[in-house]
Chain A
Amino acid sequence: MTVSESDHQRRPAHHDPILQIRNTSVTFDMDRGESRVLDDVELDIQRNEILGIVGESGSGKSMLASALLDAVVDPGVAYGDITYRPTDGEPVDVLDLDKQGLKELRWETISMVFQGAMSSFNPVRKIRTHFVETLDAHDYDIDEGMERAEGILEDLYLEPDRVLDSYPHELSGGMKQRALIALSLVLEPEVLVMDEPTAALDLLMQRSIISLIREIKAEYDLTIVFITHDLPLVADIADRIGVLYAFEFVELGPTDEILEDAAHPYTRLLLKSTPNLEAPIETMQPVEGSAPDPVNVPSGCSFHPRCPLADDQCRHEDPRAYEVNANHPVHCHHWSTAREEISMTDDYDVSSVLQSTAVDTRAQSEEIDPVVSLEDVEVHFETEQSFFDMFSDSDVVEAVNGVSVDIYEKDVVVLVGESGCGKTTLGKTAVGLQEPTGGSVQFRGHDIWDVQTGTDTGIEWGEIRRSLQIVHQDPGSALNPHRRVKTSLEAPLKRWNKDLDGNDRTQRVLSLLEHVGMTPPNDYIERYPHQLSGGEQQRVALIRAMLMNPDLIMADEPVSALDVSLRVEMMDLMIQLQDTFDTSYLFVSHDLSNARYIAEKTGGRIGVVYLGQLVEIGTPEQIIHNPQHPYTKALCWATPELGVEKNTEEAPIRTIDIPDPTDPPSGCRYHTRCPNAREICRTQSPESFDVPDETAHDAACFRVDDDHDYWTSKSITRAEETVFDD
């Protein structure tokens, strides 16, 4: 990875802590013992810094946020010292404050932006009410406060009047999140704690909110604590990064040092397991094992069961804070050797077997018949009309519009796009779970909906149903919580392999469980889904689809619900199962780096979806290193990278918000956001062009064609239309 100084000055560490956290723990009393969800944490938060806190889910990072506001929910108890040091006046111990003191501290001094703006606003009240109530509850002058609120909203590139008079559902996710940031700033706090503020947002929106945070920090003189599970995300903005593992900090240091030269094995492994666009995929390795249970944290160093460097000392002795340098403590006995032992670049050993089999590109498969072939597929949803609208046309959401794509035997196609762009609908249409309103979906030459209605009798509907399977995004709801692993997994066998008796079925389920690494399988087979971890649930869901022996599996964001350190492992498993079962995959993902990992490892293709249209398709190489469509370029730009450079470029996009899908723009649907849009894009919709000199790479943009009328058309981009960020 390369280093270069970024555009904003990374603040040298100085000693003026605004919050000092000493020996702070949070415990929950549970039936089976005391659960320590924050373990003896020490941390100084410096005035006016952006501190990134990174940890997997269940590492205690949200607890830390709650403890800062002394807002740990019952029956949790926080103890230790959290000292707030105002610029003038006496230091205050946050955990000792009385009710009135807490009220003054929360929101007025330290405020918080929660995860999921959707649920932070009351859906039946206008945004203005939320601001007024906040001001009122803290006895602030309301007129003055609202004036300030309008100013903040403007700084966040929102129209104050429009936003304040809206109900929450009338705002997009990104606008809501910005409004929430404004709400947390209205009482002029000094510290802003943000708990996964962008987790529910799209890539492009995430990117712009991140840059906004930098702006408001300067403008309002804030100290920001940014909590996330996504290391690359904070890499851009944080001055320092703290890594939480098993309820304590394992490492804390300046961003550059953490990214380039981390000293703790966990940080190094985490960095390696994070898929990104630049690093060769061979270097991406999963972190083995899973995070410990809060009641039963391993003795000694809590990371030792997963650590390749662990020795006797690690098993018995809890590592104290060793100092890499004055600003960089690390809790590892072997920090000095970790950097050499766990190399960040050369690791070409294990997985070469996995990929070599599949890396013949699809170029030659053109002659073979596709398994599933979509031709000009359209899926339009009509929105409901009220009685009084009976004379007007109903609104139609064009979820999928004119998409054609072929999927071959043992093929992998990854669909990438923002949420609401229709990629999931397209995926479900491809596996026959959504009936298209136009065009055709063919399975081995038979239109599947003709087969279903009985007009095409060349193939059985059951055969199609068996061959096209789905793996859902959230493994928690993909498995029936009332059914044991065994019952869930036997269902497909009972339906499709009637000649098997109970013992054969069980045997098959057992061997598959073992095959995906859930050992001992006898232990797992009687469990209910809630007794499995997220990764295990996803494996069971995957096996269930595999037991049908399908020809195509549509995997709807199969790893986005998993912890970062488990994603690579899960994707490797899926690739390995593809080899065993000879299936094709249609992946759906919003994350370009995951898409690249899968597609590059299997020799598949990436398809970029925008507002129901497939705007570009090609090999990962082509999509990432030679993107043709401006939207693909924007997606590549927005994908967070572990490096520190890159953000100096201007955003290759004009507006952040996606147009209303019920009223898509005319002509090229991307022209409203495209930095290269010209007059012709407004009126004509571009066909899919073959990219010259490249096989299997198509893009739906006039710019691909060198002598198109586009080049003589007038530009419609104006200076004042450029986006708000960077």
Chain B
Amino acid sequence: MTHDESSDSIEPDGGAISSPFEVVSEYEETRSERYRKLYDAYVYAPLSIILRDWRARIGLTIVLGFLALGIIGPLVVEPTRVTEGPALVGPFENWEYVLGTDAQGRDLFAQVVHSTDTILKMVTSGALFTVIIGTTIGSIAGYKSDTPIDTALSSITDVFINLPGFPLVMVLGLLLEDHILGNPYAVGVLLSIAAWGGLARAIRSQMLTLRQESFVEASQAMGLSTPTIVFKEILPHLMPYVVINLTSAGRRVIFEAVALYYLGILPFEKLNWGTMLQLAYQARAHARPGALHWFLVPMVAIVLISIGLTLLGQSLDRVFNPRVRARHEKTTADIDESGETDEEPTNEPMGGI
């Protein structure tokens, strides 16, 4: 019998080892080995999964492009000023002003570049805020369902779901003018203040089914702490959903920010996509064919980053599927003999959403 042989084989020829607990460590993992495994699991595998999918390749390119624009752009491109060039130069007419200029002769490309970092900061803080609050509250409420903790957290969630989000943001924007002026992170959080409720609700309901799984019970039997069970054992199952929400929360922040700046409700110091649209509107650019590009440039930027985030979010869910991961990791790929393709649906509990 197989196990008889194996039990013999771990016994050294001297005294018999009565319990496997007394085994002395002879296994040594070198530092480079550990780094190799970390690299494999967190860099190599996700990248090779992402790069197999055209949606992800496009999405990743767009998002990385905007990141470069926001980080490197301001160092390379000088900020524009009034009467820098002639008024209303059309796009691609003059190489000095690639995207043209506005009615006051300001370079539109420089405007786009210098507002990208602001927008990216808002997106990051807003999306992270939504997802972290929503996921934390939702998963704890779901795991602790039918307890006072759940009742409290769910009631708070319900309040935020039912708040009229946009008007609230408008009022808060006016009240907190001093705090948000020149602080894009604060704007991002402000815009997301009422946005996490729906996510918390959805996560909670997923949690209700996942906590019935045997592996959760086994973890409870092992005496693992609640945070460990919730965030390390269960949450990875919800990651595809969380990631999609992360990117769509980012998109929502952009749209809301642009809308509020366009309406002139949020205070601003620097030009950004929303204020560009507002200035164009005030200059009646929509009625003047020669000034149409003033509208189009910020619009294209908004649409492009939105598409990029959507595509990236859609394809990232596969990164969290252990079956797909295992096929792409060098450590485990050779033993993986299952023949499914990458296109199989991600994990089951996600089917409902």
Contact B222 A495 (CB under 8 A): yes
Inter-chain CA distance A569–B338, complex, in Å, is 25
| B213 located at the interface, meaning its Cβ lies under 8 Å from any Cβ of chain A in the complex | yes
Pairs across A and B, CB under 8 Å, 23 listed: A31-B340, A32-B337, A288-B1, A295-B339, A350-B1, A433-B221, A465-B223, A470-B218, A472-B218, A480-B233, A483-B233, A511-B23, A526-B37, A526-B332, A528-B322, A528-B325, A529-B322, A531-B332, A544-B218, A548-B222, A569-B1, A580-B7, A580-B20
Chain B, 15-58, CB within 8 A of any chain A CB? 18-21, 23-29, 37
| B9 located at the interface, meaning its Cβ lies under 8 Å from any Cβ of chain A in the complex | yes
| B219 located at the interface, meaning its Cβ lies under 8 Å from any Cβ of chain A in the complex | yes
* A73 CB → nearest B CB, Å: 15
Inter-chain CA distance A484–B287, complex, in Å, is 62
Cβ-closest chain A residue relative to B2: A517
Contact B222 A491 (CB under 8 A): yes
Cβ-closest chain A residue relative to B323: A530
| B10 located at the interface, meaning its Cβ lies under 8 Å from any Cβ of chain A in the complex | yes
Chain A, 261-316, CB within 8 A of any chain B CB? 286, 288, 293, 295
Chain B, 320-341, CB within 8 A of any chain A CB? 320, 322-323, 325-326, 331-332, 335-341
| A462 located at the interface, meaning its Cβ lies under 8 Å from any Cβ of chain B in the complex | yes
**Chain B positions near chain A (C-beta within 8 angstroms):** 1-7, 9-10, 18-21, 23-29, 37, 213-215, 217-224, 233, 236-237, 320, 322-323, 325-326, 331-332, 335-341, 347
Against B, the Cβ 8 Å flags (1 = close, 0 = not) of A499-538 are 0001110111011101111010001001111110000000
Q: Which residues of B contact A30 (CB under 8 A)?
A: 339
* B149 CB → nearest A CB, Å: 17
* B230 CB → nearest A CB, Å: 13
| A18 located at the interface, meaning its Cβ lies under 8 Å from any Cβ of chain B in the complex | no
Chain A, 31-90, CB within 8 A of any chain B CB? 31-33, 35
For the A-B complex, the count of residue pairs with Cβ-Cβ distances under 8 Å equals 147
**Choice from B221, B320, B341 contacting A470 with Cβ under 8 Å:** B221
Contact A515 B10 (CB under 8 A): yes
| A492 located at the interface, meaning its Cβ lies under 8 Å from any Cβ of chain B in the complex | yes
Contact A286 B1 (CB under 8 A): yes
Contact A504 B3 (CB under 8 A): no
| A581 located at the interface, meaning its Cβ lies under 8 Å from any Cβ of chain B in the complex | yes
Cβ-closest chain B residue relative to A431: B221
Contact A491 B339 (CB under 8 A): no
Inter-chain CA distance A549–B222, complex, in Å, is 11
Inter-chain CA distance A473–B215, complex, in Å, is 11
Given the known interface contacts A517-B2, A580-B20, the answer about A507 and B25 at a Cβ–Cβ threshold of 8 Å is: yes
Given the known interface contacts A514-B9, A515-B7, A548-B222, the answer about A472 and B347 at a Cβ–Cβ threshold of 8 Å is: no
Cβ-closest chain B residue relative to A472: B214
Contact A515 B1 (CB under 8 A): no
Contact B224 A478 (CB under 8 A): no
Contact A478 B335 (CB under 8 A): no
**Choice from B37, B236, B237, B338 contacting A530 with Cβ under 8 Å:** B338
Chain A, 480-498, CB within 8 A of any chain B CB? 480-484, 491-492, 495-496
Cβ-closest chain A residue relative to B223: A465
Inter-chain CA distance A32–B218, complex, in Å, is 35
Contact A32 B339 (CB under 8 A): yes
Against B, the Cβ 8 Å flags (1 = close, 0 = not) of A577-592 are 0001100000000000
Interface range on chain A (Cβ under 8 Å from partner): 35 or more
* B15 CB → nearest A CB, Å: 15
Given the known interface contacts A293-B337, A516-B6, A526-B332, the answer about A478 and B214 at a Cβ–Cβ threshold of 8 Å is: yes
Chain A, 550-568, CB within 8 A of any chain B CB? none
* B103 CB → nearest A CB, Å: 56
Inter-chain CA distance A293–B25, complex, in Å, is 36
Q: Which residues of B contact A516 (CB under 8 A)?
A: 3, 6
Inter-chain CA distance A462–B325, complex, in Å, is 35
Contact A350 B4 (CB under 8 A): yes
Contact A468 B221 (CB under 8 A): yes
Given the known interface contacts A31-B339, A580-B19, A580-B20, the answer about A528 and B323 at a Cβ–Cβ threshold of 8 Å is: yes
* A513 CB → nearest B CB, Å: 9
Inter-chain CA distance A529–B325, complex, in Å, is 12
Inter-chain CA distance A497–B329, complex, in Å, is 30
Contact A482 B236 (CB under 8 A): yes
Q: Which residues of B contact A507 (CB under 8 A)?
A: 23-27
Contact B217 A470 (CB under 8 A): yes
Q: Which residues of B contact A465 (CB under 8 A)?
A: 221-223
Q: Which residues of A contact B223 (CB under 8 A)?
A: 462, 465-466, 495-496
| A655 located at the interface, meaning its Cβ lies under 8 Å from any Cβ of chain B in the complex | no
Contact A581 B217 (CB under 8 A): no
* B322 CB → nearest A CB, Å: 5
Query: Among B29, B221, B322, B332, which residue has the most Cβ atoms of chain A within 10 A?
Result: B221
Cβ-closest chain B residue relative to A501: B25
Contact A512 B20 (CB under 8 A): yes
Inter-chain CA distance A433–B220, complex, in Å, is 8
Cβ-closest chain B residue relative to A477: B214
Q: Which residues of B contact A472 (CB under 8 A)?
A: 214, 217-218
Q: Which residues of A contact B26 (CB under 8 A)?
A: 507
* B208 CB → nearest A CB, Å: 14
Which 3 pairs, one residue from A and one from B, show the smallest C-beta to C-beta distance?
A: A30-B339, A465-B223, A472-B214
**Choice from B9, B218, B224 contacting A541 with Cβ under 8 Å:** B218
Q: Which residues of B contact A466 (CB under 8 A)?
A: 222-223
Chain A, 109-137, CB within 8 A of any chain B CB? none
**Choice from B18, B27, B237, B338 contacting A510 with Cβ under 8 Å:** B27
Contact B10 A35 (CB under 8 A): no
**Choice from A474, A484, A530 contacting B214 with Cβ under 8 Å:** A474
Q: Which residues of B contact A569 (CB under 8 A)?
A: 1-2
Inter-chain CA distance A481–B322, complex, in Å, is 7
Contact A515 B347 (CB under 8 A): no
* B42 CB → nearest A CB, Å: 13
Inter-chain CA distance A281–B6, complex, in Å, is 23
| A572 located at the interface, meaning its Cβ lies under 8 Å from any Cβ of chain B in the complex | yes
Inter-chain CA distance A707–B348, complex, in Å, is 60
Cβ-closest chain B residue relative to A506: B27
Inter-chain CA distance A576–B19, complex, in Å, is 12
* B316 CB → nearest A CB, Å: 15
Inter-chain CA distance A512–B5, complex, in Å, is 13
Contact A515 B217 (CB under 8 A): no
| A573 located at the interface, meaning its Cβ lies under 8 Å from any Cβ of chain B in the complex | yes
| A469 located at the interface, meaning its Cβ lies under 8 Å from any Cβ of chain B in the complex | yes
Cβ-closest chain A residue relative to B213: A477
Q: Which residues of A contact B5 (CB under 8 A)?
A: 517
* B262 CB → nearest A CB, Å: 43
Inter-chain CA distance A544–B219, complex, in Å, is 10
| A182 located at the interface, meaning its Cβ lies under 8 Å from any Cβ of chain B in the complex | no
| A479 located at the interface, meaning its Cβ lies under 8 Å from any Cβ of chain B in the complex | yes
Known pairs A351-B1, A480-B236, A502-B29; list 11 more (Cβ under 8 Å): A31-B341, A350-B4, A465-B223, A478-B215, A492-B222, A503-B29, A508-B20, A529-B322, A544-B218, A576-B4, A580-B18
Q: Which residues of A contact B7 (CB under 8 A)?
A: 515, 576, 580
Cβ-closest chain A residue relative to B233: A480
Cβ-closest chain B residue relative to A480: B215
* A431 CB → nearest B CB, Å: 7
Q: Which residues of A contact B347 (CB under 8 A)?
A: 481
* A290 CB → nearest B CB, Å: 11
Inter-chain CA distance A515–B326, complex, in Å, is 25
Inter-chain CA distance A484–B27, complex, in Å, is 18
Inter-chain CA distance A526–B26, complex, in Å, is 18
Q: Which residues of A contact B326 (CB under 8 A)?
A: 527-528, 530-531
Contact B3 A573 (CB under 8 A): yes
Contact A523 B335 (CB under 8 A): yes
Given the known interface contacts A470-B217, A506-B27, A517-B6, the answer about A526 and B331 at a Cβ–Cβ threshold of 8 Å is: yes
Contact A572 B214 (CB under 8 A): no
Query: Among A286, A491, A519, which residue has the most Cβ atoms of chain B within 10 A?
Result: A491
Q: Which residues of A contact B323 (CB under 8 A)?
A: 528, 530
Contact A503 B322 (CB under 8 A): no
